[in-house]
Amino acid sequence: MQKEVIAVFDIGKSNKKILLFDTDYHVVLEEDKRFDEITDDDDYACDNIEVIEKWMTDTLSSILSTGKYHLAAVNFATYGATLMYLDEAKKRLTPVYNYLKPMPVDVLNGFYDRYGGVGEFSRITASPALEMLNSGLQILWLKKKKPEVFKKVKHIVHFPQYLSLLFTGEVTSEYTSIGCHTAMWNFDKQTYHQWLKDEQITLPAPSPNTLLKEVTIAGKEVPVGIGIHDSSSSIVPYLMSSTEKFILISTGTWCVFMNPYNAEPLTQHQLVNDTLCYLSSEQKQVKSSRLFLGFIHEENANRLAEHFKVSKKAYQSVKTDKLLLKKLDEKNKGSRVFFKDGVPENYVDVTVDLSIFANFDEAYHQLMIDLVDLSCKAIELIETKEKDTKALYISGGFTNNDLYVRLIADRFPDKKVYTSDISNATALGAALVIGREAFKKELPQIDLGLNEITY
């Protein structure tokens, strides 16, 4: 008997995955691939979209041909800040341009001034001025720098919707991709910003993430979703299963702090401190801040390891020493030792004389005190005035860092602090948004893998 499953392609910058979820939303198959980057027509690194496309179509055909699975649906979750430009026949005209490409200064000359200045424009679009990371502004770049290509453009879609189009042939749009610092969406009016119309750029009206299109793949009828932005997808399991208001702390190289219960407009203070808004799959504002936590931690922990002549992995065995924390607090009176003046450009604080610490453990405790302080500042940016969230969920790599999670719990005695162990939360979210329609049954309660942390 065939097992009924939803297939999700989870396309990250580094890893590309396909996962199959059964009707209880357990993973029954997972395949992880890495593809070498190529260069675009400007000789800048980018994803090899042709290889990715072939892998996707071959993988789905292979899964169907085994006869082991009945594909109830297929969906896509991808990184954001990426657009695809299509001609009249809906064929791709360009490479997958990398959002890390530099934006030529002249592209945005006078642009912000026409729409109230950079501060007001950023507030209305919930998009700090991030150059190519504002994917809508990539359209202006293409229009001005590659006019011979742009004149052939008939359709513009975000990356998740492009992958969907490969199977459905339909041009679509959806809220989570539009709402992720694209500079396209007017959060005041909940519609596309006027500048797109002024530039004669037409984008599809957004559809809900629950939408499925029936298509034929390898001779089988398969419903295909329209995709979802990965950050918005990763919070879906928590929104569906949490019984209280929460902030999600998604840790990794980047630490992203998300509050789906803060509908207050962005302030200039928040914007200049890298705070923005996403749109959830239910078209609600998710206020979000971020910190380059994983990278900052690694670089500074390596410096400590070299100084104290211990293994670079020594921090992994450090356990919370409350007496040491009390000693450091009394000594420094709550002031930072590391990052006194903020995080330096190269992320390593070489201004700290490491000889002030007796050993690696003491230095590492202080480093984590200060990294948690930076994290708390990021959390403060997304809290409501009432500070009405009741829980903090910590997911990702730092759930295994005893000092980090206990120090967070210490800093928020009024909230319940949990580590959350959900494997493949992004892919799970993409499955859940189409799950009710695909499996024709109500969604189950999702186990968030919660473990309450006390100081």
Helix, strand or coil, per DSSP, at residue 1: coil
The DSSP symbol for 194 reads H
Domain architecture of the chain: domains with CATH: 3-228 (3.30.420.40), 235-420 (3.30.420.40)
Would the CA dihedral through 9, 442, 240, 285 be positive or negative? positive
For the cut 90, the answer to whether the pLDDT of residue 72 exceeds it is yes
Place of tokens 């299109």: 213
For the cut 90, the answer to whether the pLDDT of residue 7 exceeds it is yes
Q: Any idea what the Cα angle at residue 346 is, between residues 344 and 350, rounded to 5°?
A: 65
pLDDT single digits (tens) 343-396: 998 999 999 999 999 999 999 999 999 999 999 999 999 999 899 999 999 998
In the chain, the N- to C-terminal Cα span, in Å, equals 50
For the whole model, what pTM was predicted?
0.89
- Model confidence at 186, pLDDT cuts 50, 70, 90, reads very high
pLDDT single digits (tens) 116-129: 999 999 999 999 99
Would the CA dihedral through 194, 195, 199, 203 be positive or negative? negative
Residue 177: which of 247, 230, 213 has the closest Cα? 230
